[in-house]
Amino acid sequence: MDDLNLLGPQLALLIGAAYIIIVDVLLPLAGREAYGQRRLLLPGLAVLAAAGSAGWSLALVLTDERGEAFDGMMTVDDFTLFFNFLFAGVAGVIVLGSVDFLDRNRFRAEYLALILAAAAGMSLMAAGTDLIMIFVALELQAIALFALVGISKSDSGSEATLKFLLLSAVSTAITLYGMAYLFGLSGETSLDGIASYVANTDENRSALVLAAVFLTAGLGFKMAVVPFQMWVPDVYEGAPTPITAFLSVASKAAGFAVVMRIFLVALGEGIVTTDWAYLFAAIAAVSMTVGNVLALVQGNIKRMLGYSSIAQAGTILIGLAAVAAEDPQLLLGTSSVVFFLGAYAFTNIGAFLAIIAISHKIGSNEIDDYAGVAKRSPLLALGLAACLFSLTGFPPTAGFIAKVYVFNAAVQADLVWLAIIGVINSVIAAYYYLRVVLNMFARDPETDDAFQPNPYLGVALAAAVIGLFAIGVYPTPLIEASESAARVFG
Amino acid sequence: MLTFAIFFPLLGAVLIATLPKAQERSAKHIAAVTTAIVLGVVAYLFIDYDRGAGGYQFLDSSTWLDSAPDISDFDLNYAVGLDGLSLPLVLLTAFLGLVSVLISWRIELRPKEYFAWLLVLETSLLGVFSSLDLVLFFLFWEVELIPMFFLISVWGSGNRVYSAWKYVLYTFFGSAFMIVGILTLGFTAGTFDIRELAEVGSFDGAIIPAWAIFTLLSIAFLVKMPVVPFHTWLPDAHTDAPTAVSVILAGVLLKMGGYGILRMSFSIMPEQASDANVIFAIIAAVSILYGAMMTLIQTDLKRLIAYSSVSHMGYVLLGTSSIGVVGLTGAATQMVTHGLITGMLFALVGMVYDRAHTREIGQLRGLATRMPFITAMMLVAGLASLGLPALAGFAAEVTIFLGTFERHEALTIVGVLGVAFAAGYILWTVQRVFWGEPDPKWAELTDATEWWERGPLIALTAAIVAIGVYPAWVMDLLHDGVAPIAERLA
């Protein structure tokens, strides 16, 4: 029972997913009127499942339940719990933001169930402490996401799905190859077992480096960093916008969570640590630069945010590079990564929610068509502007603290050069983020029709915006959460 | 008390933002009352400041972010206080804050947002001059960009979008380096407190060379000041900004650069500042001459004054390059007097533009007969700007030259040439615009008759004369403020 208790947050999501499918099948039997309630009933159930998951995590926190489950396959610790909250919250908000989209899609129940399943998979990725478990979790969320990307069955959606599926398959194979190396060398699949092998060996250095490179490449796909980012723009553009938001926040965070687990635990000590730290530093520098430069020239706001998310992933990697660089900052680097992921979740989700609402009304994702949105819907425009300012890193928003915290980790780890590349990239990023703000505020709209988002999305957006200001003004709670998540690796 | 003064405008902004649409005309009244109260409080602080005791007074501090000691000493504190250097600048900010609200009385376009942003701007500026913590300073420094961005791009004229963008990107570029410098300083000294950092003295043990930190810090200030060759944002921003924003921009924002040089670069890293004094003097001389010469070929009144600002801010840098107490006092005084004089010039040009709808010098002629009051005021401001004795500019410039001559003889002489230029371009401009045969085209123009036009102008004149006749009331204070910095430099 203890095992199940620890698995509770994920179980809540999966049970919710199953329940939604069942209700959807049974609902026509309850009569026409009940069937008409589908529009809100099913998303309501999904939000309930997410809330239940978060509530369960909260119960685990309050009762101070921690520990391994299922013979060490997964571990519930502060790190796991942080991501449990993150994924449950993101899933709930994405559901709220999908109400409009679902009116135009007949796979309502499937869509919601898949989101919950994917969130459960991501949550398990963060919890997994065994290669087998991690791989299964990885597949669970990946398969759910394939279906979600193509769920609107449009041409661009199908193209996106195919691209996503093929490249994801390749990356999974590469990840598996890296895992196979670790298993082959150490004879263990548990991360602790591998760690004790790696920490005590002087041999097989090149094989370990190779394993690290394969894992980086395979998981780099999930984190969406250069040079494993090719899928991002097309998939982000082709997928339904709520799913794009889900990919850019949750899927990316899950990738980072797994990377932290594997690299910090299994490869955390021993002969290859500085090797992968510099590998991450290089990837961070390239991702930031390539992502930002390509984002500059995008006309489609979803593509722009796609490239920008590549750049943001690069910024997050700075923290990971700081973990094992010249002057290792294990706790600070990890804590800055976790904090950034949390802050980024609020910010990017908020940006996508605003885009969902605006694009739905103006019928376009082109940045040029955002002209004068501030006149037609001042609150939405302000909400999007707040998120974009946070993405740029302006105070007093979450993005500001997150960037300062990550750069601080870099400076302390003697990676000043990387911090400088990071800040120069912030300037480039300011250019394309602010372009959207300028379009909304300083240009005149073609029509003066005012519009409002639907209330569910409005509430979610307001929560995200309030959250990003709250973190910006009073970051201590999130910092403390990140710090205790980081101590898991200490 | 000080904290109240800093955040009270923000409160006013929130109040304005929540006004119902029907009440939007009262936005300006709220803004005027808010800024008047702030001015009252700051004036009280100015009188209440214990000149005998000196040092930082009106201290307020509390912990803002306390990270766990086992992870990093990344502690952020809210710490504000005023000393002889910052107090006059805070008074200047509060004064011009009220002025800028009054001269915006006729704003018709989205008045709610306009006055709200103006008040946010005031909070950020007061915060910059009051911060005693580097990260807090940086936070206010960055926050200032957001209201400026909106104010120029939405309420500006001409090429407003381009100018707003250029302004933000230039400043952001500078501050990107500043944050790396700040983090390095904080990491080396283990604190972000400006007072404690000033006691450290030497940063030779830092992870990057001390001169590199000094450069990282100073670039942002030199861009903001601005000096040649980083000045090109200034004419654009000034020309296209609405009048009140030009007043704040010239009056207060440029001073952030000079203040930063004195408070951060010079007082924290005196060794490197001493080493750099020749470079600073050369940059200053170039700025003074280049700015002065550029004024001669301007055809737009605002651009002309903008370039004169480049020249006059060159004096500030020249004064600092003396690294002696006299020169530093002169530089600090020049910041205050330039704020008043140039603020007034921009206000006047704005009034001319509101009436004639052109700022082309070639088109304006013989306005003196139509607007005697504006002409008289223009004459006062112009004469003060060219350094006429008994007006504010004289005291500052003479002190600068006195202080600098010993150290940089030749460059000081070059600087004095700038004064000759100033006499030329100011008198020539006044002659062309206000004297001469009245053009029948301008026969309909009216003088400044409203209380909200005359009031600020008379108050500015009073301040300029007061400093000109009896400079000691601010200069003594500024002298006490810069004396500790000069001691460290010696």
Q: pLDDT tens across A421-448, in order?
A: 999 999 999 999 999 999 999 888 888 8
List b or e across B207-233, with b for residues whose CB sees 16 or more CB atoms inside 10 angstroms.
Answer: bbebebbbbbbbbbbbbbbbbbebbeb
Please give the average per-residue pLDDT across A302-312, as a whole number.
Answer: 94
Task: Name beta bridge partners: B193.
Answer: B133
H/E stretch holding A41: helix A38-62
**Number of domains, chain A:** 1
Among B179, B184, B223, pick the best mutation site for testing chain A contact (most A Cβ within 10 A).
B179
In a domain, B366, yes or no: yes
In a domain, B390, yes or no: yes
Residue from A311, A223, A315, A330 nearest A267 by CA: A330
Residue A201 confidence (pLDDT):
83
Domain span at A347: 273-490
In a domain, B149, yes or no: no
Chain A interface with B: residues with Cβ < 8 Å? 327, 329, 331-332, 335, 389, 394-396, 400-401, 404-405, 407-409, 411-412, 414, 416, 419-420, 423-424, 426-427, 430-431, 434, 437-438, 441-443, 474-476, 479-480, 483, 486-487, 490
Confidence grade of residue A58 (pLDDT, cut at 50, 70, 90): very high
In a domain, B396, yes or no: yes
| Tokens matching residue A435 | 């372009």
Confidence grade of residue A486 (pLDDT, cut at 50, 70, 90): very high
Q: Does B437 touch chain A (CB under 8 A)?
A: no
Q: Does B466 touch chain A (CB under 8 A)?
A: no
Residue B446 buriedness (CB in 10 A; 0-12 / 13-18 / 19+): exposed
Residue A270 confidence (pLDDT):
75
The closest CB to that of A411, out of B142, B168, B187, belongs to B187
Q: By the 8 A CB rule, do A193 and A266 touch? A: no
User: Taking a contact as any Cβ pair under 8 Å apart, which residues of chain B between 254 and 313 contact chain A?
Assistant: none
**Number of domains, chain B:** 1
In a domain, A292, yes or no: yes
In a domain, B347, yes or no: yes
In a domain, B180, yes or no: no
Q: By the 8 A CB rule, do B402 and B330 touch? A: yes
φ/ψ region of B80 (left if φ > 0, alpha if ψ in -120 to 50, else beta) reads beta
Domain span at B313: 276-490
In a domain, B470, yes or no: yes
| Tokens matching residue B338 | 């330039």
- Cα A409 from Cα A427, distance rounded (Å): 20
pLDDT at A35 over 80: no
Do the Cβ atoms of A409 and B207 come within 8 Å?
no
Cis peptide before A233 (omega within 30 of 0): no
Residue from B306, B361, B10, B336 nearest B167 by CA: B306
Do the Cβ atoms of A430 and B172 come within 8 Å?
yes
Strand stretches in A247-392, DSSP E? none
What's phi and psi for B99, nearest 5 deg? Answer: -55, -45
- Cα B457 from Cα B299, distance rounded (Å): 24
Closest-CA distance, B38 to chain A, in angstroms, reads 22
Do the Cβ atoms of B153 and A438 come within 8 Å?
yes
Residue A135 confidence (pLDDT):
95
For residue B142, the chain A residues in CB contact (below 8 A) are 394-395, 400
pTM: 0.94
Per-residue pLDDT of chain B (490 residues; tens, 9 = 90+): 899 999 999 999 999 999 888 888 889 999 999 999 999 999 999 999 998 888 899 999 998 888 887 777 778 889 999 999 999 999 999 999 999 999 999 888 888 999 999 999 999 999 999 999 999 999 999 999 999 999 999 999 888 989 999 999 999 999 999 999 999 998 888 889 999 998 887 888 788 899 999 999 999 999 999 998 899 999 999 999 999 999 999 999 999 999 999 999 999 999 999 999 999 999 999 999 999 999 989 999 999 999 999 999 999 999 999 989 999 999 999 999 999 999 999 999 999 998 888 888 888 888 888 889 999 999 999 999 988 888 998 999 999 999 999 888 889 998 888 888 888 899 999 898 888 888 888 878 888 888 998 999 999 999 999 999 999 999 999 999 999 999 988 8
Cα A38–A43–A48 angle (5° rounding)? 125
For residue B168, the chain A residues in CB contact (below 8 A) are 430, 434
Identify the closest residue of chain B to A440 by CA–CA distance: B154
In three state form, how does the secondary structure of chain B look? CHHHHHHHHHHHHHHHHCCCHHHHHHHHHHHHHHHHHHHHHHHHHHHHCCCCCCCCEEEEEEEEECCCCCCCCCCEEEEEEECCCHHHHHHHHHHHHHHHHHCCCCCCCCHHHHHHHHHHHHHHHHHHHHECEHHHHHHHHHHCHHHHHHHHHHHCCCCHHHHHHHHHHHHHHHHHHHHHHHHHHHHHHCCCEHHHHHHHCCCCCCCCCHHHHHHHHHHHHHHHCCCCCCCCHHHHHHHHCCHHHHHHHHHHHHHHHHHHHHHHHHHHCHHHHHHCHHHHHHHHHHHHHHHHHHHHCCCEHHHHHHHHHHHHHHHHHHHHHCCCHHHHHHHHHHHHHHHHHHHHHHHHHHHHHHHHCCCECCCCCCHHHCCHHHHHHHHHHHHHHCCCCCCHHHHHHHHHHHHHHCCCHHHHHHHHHHHHHHHHHHHHHHHHHHCCCCCHHHCCCCCCCCHHHHHHHHHHHHHHHHHHHCCHHHHHHHHHHHHHHHHHHC
- Cα B336 from Cα B265, distance rounded (Å): 20
* Alpha-carbon separation of residue A436 from A365, A370, A466 (angstroms): 11, 7, 21
Residue A205 confidence (pLDDT):
83
Do the Cβ atoms of A329 and B160 come within 8 Å?
no
The closest CB to that of A442, out of B65, B135, B161, belongs to B161
What string of DSSP letters covers A149-218? HTTT--HHHHHHHHHHHHHHHHHHHHHHHHHHHHHHHHS--BHHHHHHHHHT--S-HHHHHHHHHHHHHH
| Helix axes of B2-17 and B86-102: crossing angle, nearest 10 degrees | 20
Q: Does B67 touch chain A (CB under 8 A)?
A: yes
In a domain, A164, yes or no: no
Residue A449 confidence (pLDDT):
86
Enumerate helices (H) and strands (E) in chain A, giving the number of each: 22, 2
Confidence grade of residue A75 (pLDDT, cut at 50, 70, 90): very high
Among B180, B187, B208, pick the best mutation site for testing chain A contact (most A Cβ within 10 A).
B180
Amino acid at B309: S
Residue B365 confidence (pLDDT):
84
Q: By the 8 A CB rule, do B400 and B318 touch? A: yes
Closest-CA distance, A294 to chain B, in angstroms, reads 18
In a domain, B393, yes or no: yes
**Residue A396, SS3 per DSSP:** coil
Cis peptide before A396 (omega within 30 of 0): yes
Identify the closest residue of chain B to A418 by CA–CA distance: B180
Residue A285 confidence (pLDDT):
96
The closest CB to that of B145, out of A394, A412, A490, belongs to A394
Beta-strand pair A67-69/A74-76: antiparallel
Tens digits of per-residue pLDDT, A124-172?
999 999 999 999 999 999 999 999 999 988 888 899 999 999 999 999 9
ipTM of the complex: 0.91
For residue A416, the chain B residues in CB contact (below 8 A) are 180, 184, 207-208
